[in-house]
Every structure is written in structure tokens, then in C-alpha cells.
Amino acid sequence: MKDNYKKWIKNLLMVIILIVSIYFLVEKLVSNWNEVQAYDWEISYFYFLISLVGLIIYYLVAHAFQWRPILSTLGVKLTFYKSLKYWTIGQLGRYLPGKVWFVLGRLYFCSKEGIRKSIVLLSIFLELFFLAITSIFIFLVSLLFAKQVQLNTNYIYALIVIIFLAFIFIHPKVFSKIINFILKKIKKPLLKIEITKFQILKFSLLISFLWFFQGFLFFIFSKSIYSQLGWSFLPLFIGAYALAWFLGLISFVTPGGIGVREVILTYFLGNYLPSYIIVVIVILFRLILTAIEFGLGAILSMHHKFGKKNC
């Protein structure tokens, strides 16, 4: 009875957040409808193709930077193709309510390889932890290079403190305690984490590169629609994209962070660019990302079912 009540509350929150998000985005378009109609919606196919090809490349290699090295550190060796397949198909589970299906997907495939459940869970948890930490760090650092953002001295001091704390957190003992503290809070079994400072730093740098790459592609896509977008906005777009992804991740309620990321990007970037332009950009970008994710996932699923399974 209690579980049903929690599920009902969670579903209600999901519906409310989606409705509020849609209303926010639609209101931005409707209130600026005259500008929307007057704007010359001419797409730069050069920038569009760069962003499209870049996003496909990202989804083909992201697992090699995010998940596969972590598995390798934990003593699990998967081929490039298998790790791509398990990661990509599993990622589709993010679009289902509950945010656990992508975990179950990887657990299912890895169980076929004889990989222990505890190792898979630890690898996914570490992956998410590094994604979250680096996304916040990328956002804070990006503001230092964004000419459009006016920073005061207090922000600079705060950033220095955050960087100092980050170096403390990468110490293996501190890192292990933080991870197990979180696991304890979410009522998961504690894990023995054997990872070096160099490995923590390596993962952080690899995933930070992915944030830069994704943010750059988001900027290029935006430039394909809004030609007036200057290159000085690049740091702002990279940071905003990383922050929006992180907040979409911790929203837990909406599948794939749908609505949450779009609203955050519109709210933040709308302070520097026309909000109706940003709304169109974030909606189209989400549709393209989703199409690539499901397209690649469908291809790999079909190959897994009918192709050679010993690739």
C-alpha cells in the first residue's frame, strides 16, 4: 500500500513537472509570436551537418570514455562493440519512468557475460558520480570565460574553494567514504572501492572532455539556426548544457530529464539571447538527440537479436 502511494505521488509529480515545463516553453513562444513570425528561419546546413555528425560520433564513443574505462579499472574487460551495445541499449531506459531501467538493462546484458551484479552497479554509480561532479565543475569554470557573465570577487573566491575541495575529494579514501555514504543513504550495500588518485583524475578529465564536446555541438547546432550567435558565447553554452544535464539527472521524476533540461537552458540562456530562439533550439536539439539515441539503439538491438553475437 505504501509503495503504491509513493508510485502515485511520483507519477503525479512527473505529470506536474511536464505540464509546467511545457507551459513555460509554450508561453515563451506565444508571448513572442510576432518576433517568431518575423524572424528569418534560415538554417546553416554546414553547421547543422557538423553538429549532426558530431552527435552520432559522440553516441558511438561516449561509452568508451564514460563506462568502459571504469569497468576496466574494476577488472572487467569488454570488447568495444559489446560495451557500446550494452551502454547504448541500456541508455534508452532513461526514457522510462523510474530512472532505474537503464541500470537494469546493463545488468541484464552483463549477467550474460558472467559479470557480477555488484561490479556492474558500482561501475554505473561511479559513472554517474563523475558525470555529476564534472558537470558542476564545467559550469562554474565556464562562467569565468563567458564574457557575457559579470562575476564579482566573491564568485572567484568561491570557485577557488570549490577547486580546492575537488582536489580533496579525489583522494581515494575520501572518495570511497563519499560513495559509501551516498549508498548508505539510498539503502544500498556498501562497496569496497579500490581506485587510485590517478584513475579518479583520469576519469574526471575524460568525462570533462565529453562535456566540452557535447556543449560545443550544442553551440554549433544553435549557430546553425541563429546565425548571429557569436563565438564568445561558446563557454556559456558549454557550461549551461552541463548544468542542465546535471539538474535533469537529479530530477529523478521526468524520464530522460525531459522538460527539465529544456526549461533550464531556456531560462539561463534566455538572459543573453532571445528566449523564443532558445526555445526552438532546445526543442529541436532534444528531438535530434532522441532520434539518434533510439535509432542507434534500434540498430544495435536488431544486430544483437539477428546478427553475430560474438562480435
pLDDT tens per residue across span 231-256: 999 999 999 999 898 888 777 666 66
Distances, alpha carbon 23 to alpha carbons 26, 27, 275, in Å? 5, 6, 14
Choose among 152, 109, 79, 24: nearest CA to 304.
Answer: 109
Mean pLDDT score, 14-25: 72
d(Cα 67, Cα 260) in Å, to the nearest integer?
A: 25
Q: What is the pLDDT of residues 173-205, one digit of tens each?
A: 777 777 777 777 767 677 677 777 788 888 889
DSSP assignment letter at 270 = T
Could you give the angle at the alpha carbon of 295 between the alpha carbons of 283 and 54, nearest 5°? 65
pLDDT of residue 289: 92
DSSP assignment letter at 227 = T
Q: What is the pLDDT of residues 107-132, one digit of tens each?
A: 888 888 888 888 888 888 888 888 88
d(Cα 253, Cα 249) in Å, to the nearest integer?
A: 9
Choose among 24, 28, 47: nearest CA to 276.
Answer: 28
DSSP 3-state of 56: helix
What are the grid coordinates assigned to 86, written together? Answer: 550494452
The rounded mean pLDDT for the chain is: 82
pLDDT at 39 over 60: yes
pLDDT of residue 9: 64
What are the grid coordinates assigned to 251, written together? Answer: 530530477
pLDDT of residue 311: 44
**Cα-Cα end-to-end distance for the chain:** 46
Distances, alpha carbon 158 to alpha carbons 131, 186, 204, 267, in Å? 21, 29, 20, 23
Three-state DSSP string of 92-150? HHHHCCCCCHHHHHHHHHHHHCCCCHHHHHHHHHHHHHHHHHHHHHHHHHHHHHCCCCC
d(Cα 134, Cα 144) in Å, to the nearest integer?
A: 16
Q: What is the pLDDT of residues 268-297, one digit of tens each?
A: 898 888 888 999 999 999 999 999 999 998
For residue 181, the one-letter residue type is F
Q: Are 243 and 133 in contact (CB under 8 A)?
A: no
At residue 211, φ and ψ (nearest 5 deg) are -60, -45
Q: How far is C-alpha 100 from the geometric centre of its chain's CA atoms?
A: 15
Q: How far is C-alpha 302 from the geometric centre of its chain's CA atoms?
A: 25
DSSP string across 148-216: TS---HHHHHHHHHHHHHHHHHTSHHHHHHHHHHHHHHTT---------HHHHHHHHHHHHHHHHHHHH
Could you give the angle at the alpha carbon of 87 between the alpha carbons of 77 and 297, nearest 5°? 135
Choose among 133, 192, 197: nearest CA to 171.
Answer: 197
pLDDT at 106 over 60: yes
pLDDT of residue 10: 62
